């Protein structure tokens, strides 16, 4: 048992995966000696060598494409994209090859690749370093998309993602890299899955009865804080941590919506055509008669991510979420 940051939790998960399966390789710009710009791969090249922990040329399509080639031969590459805004050069390989090869080959070719993307804002960074592009990947059949919200889940889910036979886009909430939790980060959760649930199931992060807040990744903590603040005002909010965006655990969402009758979805990405739209549409369809209010959404504006000095206004925060909660309660 130790106090562990999310960054360290992922580091531990990667180390365990590298130890468990010699076909696991890490690939990504600066993940070697530097340990990645967030130090998530710290020490791994020193331990496993530069044939297992590869810091490749600066070319994301090249990294993704060669990772696919390695996976075709039975390897399990874990690719790090340095920041959210730099995944787009690899988009073609992801959408046309990574997502579709298993189908195209009628199952003959598996691509158990994990694409780790530190994403989201709130760290005062320059442009292209604070984006939330998860909707693009969620809309793309053939990919799985997940995002842990806390150190323990990060530790467990990265191992599960690597063990998964499908490609996984693994969104790491970079502003939560330094959040801490206490747990044993030496457990191989794949070899010994006792007590570890499926990464594709949502988690009730807090129980409540009046309204359901839905979030994933960085916004889960924000929603927990909202629930705390709302409790002070006498409101009981349930918080669902989605964990996996594709597949989406609709059953858990529906159960919670059925219980509370009200739902607010929160994500950093622009609201328009974001993941929240899917949640709203699907939950509304399944809970049409039980909803007391429309599913409301709080998210980024329909605008490019703004400069750091004003990002607080772009990002959902306690006040904006509470405002939506008020609105939903007022129906």
Partner 1 sequence: MISAPDDLIQLLTPEGQRVSNADFPLDITDDEIRSLYRDLFLVRRWDNEATALQRQGELALWAQCMGQEAAQIGAGRALAPQDMVFPSYREHGVAWTRGVDPVAILGLFRGTTNGGWDPRKHNFGLYTIVIGNQCLHAVGWAMAGMREGTNDAVLTCFGDGGSNQGDVAEAFSFAGIYNAPVVFLCQNNQYAISEPNTRQMRVPVFHKAKGFGFPGFRVDGNDVLAMLAVTRWALENARAGNGPALIEAFTYRIGAHTTSDDPTRYRDPEEVEYWKARDPLLRVKAYLDSVGTPQSFYDSLDAEAEELAQHIRAGARALVDPQPMDIFDHVYAEPHALVEEERAEMAAYIAQFGDLSARHGHGGH
Ligand X SMILES: Cc1ncc(C[n+]2csc(CCOP(=O)(O)OP(=O)(O)O)c2C)c(N)n1
- Select from 20, 89, 91, 254 the one that contacts partner 1 (CB under 8 A): 89
| Stretch touching partner 1 by CB under 8 A, among 5-13, 106-114, 149-157, 204-212 | 106-114
Indicate the helix (H) or strand (E) that contains 80: strand 76-80
| 236: its two tokens | 């009981």
Residues 218-277 that bind partner 1 (CB under 8 A): 221-222, 225-226, 229, 246-250, 272
d(CA 158, CA 168): 10
Site string for partner 1, 168-187 (x = CB under 8 A): -------x------------
Select 18 or 64, whichever has its Cβ closest to partner 1: 64
Smallest gap from Cβ 47 to its own copies, in A, equals 33
- Select from 21, 37, 180, 290 the one that contacts partner 1 (CB under 8 A): 37
301 counts as binding its own copies under rule CB under 8 A: yes
Smallest gap from Cβ 82 to partner 1, in A, equals 9
Residues 228-267 that bind its own copies (CB under 8 A): 246, 248
Smallest gap from Cβ 9 to partner 1, in A, equals 19
CA proximity to 114, closest of 48, 222, 190: 190
For tokens 């390989």, name the residue: 93
Smallest gap from Cβ 54 to ligand X, in A, equals 14
19 counts as binding partner 1 under rule CB under 8 A: no
d(CA 174, CA 15): 19
* Residues binding partner 1: number (CB under 8 A): 93
d(CA 222, CA 138): 22
* Residues binding ligand X: number (CB under 6 A): 6
- Select from 6, 8, 48, 102 the one that contacts partner 1 (CB under 8 A): 102
φ/ψ bin of 4: left (φ > 0), alpha (ψ from -120 to 50), beta (otherwise): beta
Q: Are strands 296-300 and 263-270 parallel, antiparallel or unpaired?
A: parallel
What is the distance of C-alpha 183 from the center of its chain?
A: 20
d(CA 226, CA 215): 12
Query: Is 129 a catalytic site residue?
Result: yes
d(CA 176, CA 6): 7
Contacts of 108 (CB under 8 A, 6+ apart): none
- Select from 77, 167, 274, 299 the one that contacts its own copies (CB under 8 A): 274
Give helix then strand counts, H and E, for the chain: 12, 14
Smallest gap from Cβ 14 to partner 1, in A, equals 18
Specify the length of the chain in residues: 331
Q: Are the beta carbons of 227 and 178 closer than 8 angstroms? A: no
Indicate which of ligand X, its own copies, partner 1, none lies near residue 48 (CB less than 5 to 8 Å, by partner kind).
Answer: none
What's the farthest any 2 CA atoms get from each other in the chain?
Answer: 59
Which residues are tagged catalytic? Answer: 129
The residues binding its own copies (CB under 8 A) are 61, 85, 88-89, 91-92, 95-96, 99-100, 103-104, 127-128, 135-136, 138-139, 141-142, 246, 248, 269-270, 272-278, 280-282, 284-285, 288, 293-297, 301-304, 331
């Amino acid at each position: 048992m130790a106090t562990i940051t999310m960054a360290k939790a992922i580091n531990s998960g990667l180390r365990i995966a590298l130890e468990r399966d010699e076909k696991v390789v890490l690939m990504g710009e600066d993940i070697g000696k530097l340990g990645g710009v967030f130090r998530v791969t710290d020490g791994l090249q020193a331990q496993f060598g530069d044939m297992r922990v590869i810091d490749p040329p600066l070319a994301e399509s090249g990294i993704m494409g060669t990772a696919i080639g390695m996976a075709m031969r039975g390897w399990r590459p874990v690719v790090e994209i340095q920041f959210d805004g730099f995944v787009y050069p690899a988009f073609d390989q992801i959408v046309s090859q990574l997502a579709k090869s298993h189908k195209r080959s009628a199952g003959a070719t598996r691509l158990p690749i994990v694409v780790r993307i530190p994403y989201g804002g709130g760290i005062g960074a320059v442009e292209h370093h604070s984006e939330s592009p998860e909707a693009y990947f969620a809309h793309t059949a053939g990919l799985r998309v997940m995002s842990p919200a806390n150190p323990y889940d990060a530790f467990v889910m990265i191992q599960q993602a690597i063990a998964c036979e499908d490609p996984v886009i693994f969104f790491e909430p970079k502003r939560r890299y330094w959040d801490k939790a206490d747990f044993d980060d030496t457990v191989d959760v794949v070899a010994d899955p006792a007590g570890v649930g499926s990464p594709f199931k949502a988690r009730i992060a807090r129980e409540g009865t009046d309204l359901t807040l839905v979030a994933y990744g960085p916004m889960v903590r924000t929603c927990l804080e909202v629930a705390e603040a709302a409790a002070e005002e006498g409101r009981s909010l349930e918080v669902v941590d989605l964990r996996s965006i594709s597949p989406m655990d609709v059953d858990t969402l529906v159960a919670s919506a059925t219980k509370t009758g009200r739902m607010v979805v929160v994500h950093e990405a622009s609201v328009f055509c974001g993941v929240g739209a899917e949640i709203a549409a699907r939950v509304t369809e399944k809970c049409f008669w039980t909803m007391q209010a429309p599913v409301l959404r709080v998210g980024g504006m329909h605008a490019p991510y703004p400069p750091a000095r004003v990002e607080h206004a772009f990002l959902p925060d306690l006040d904006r979420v509470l405002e939506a909660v008020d609105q939903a309660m007022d129906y």
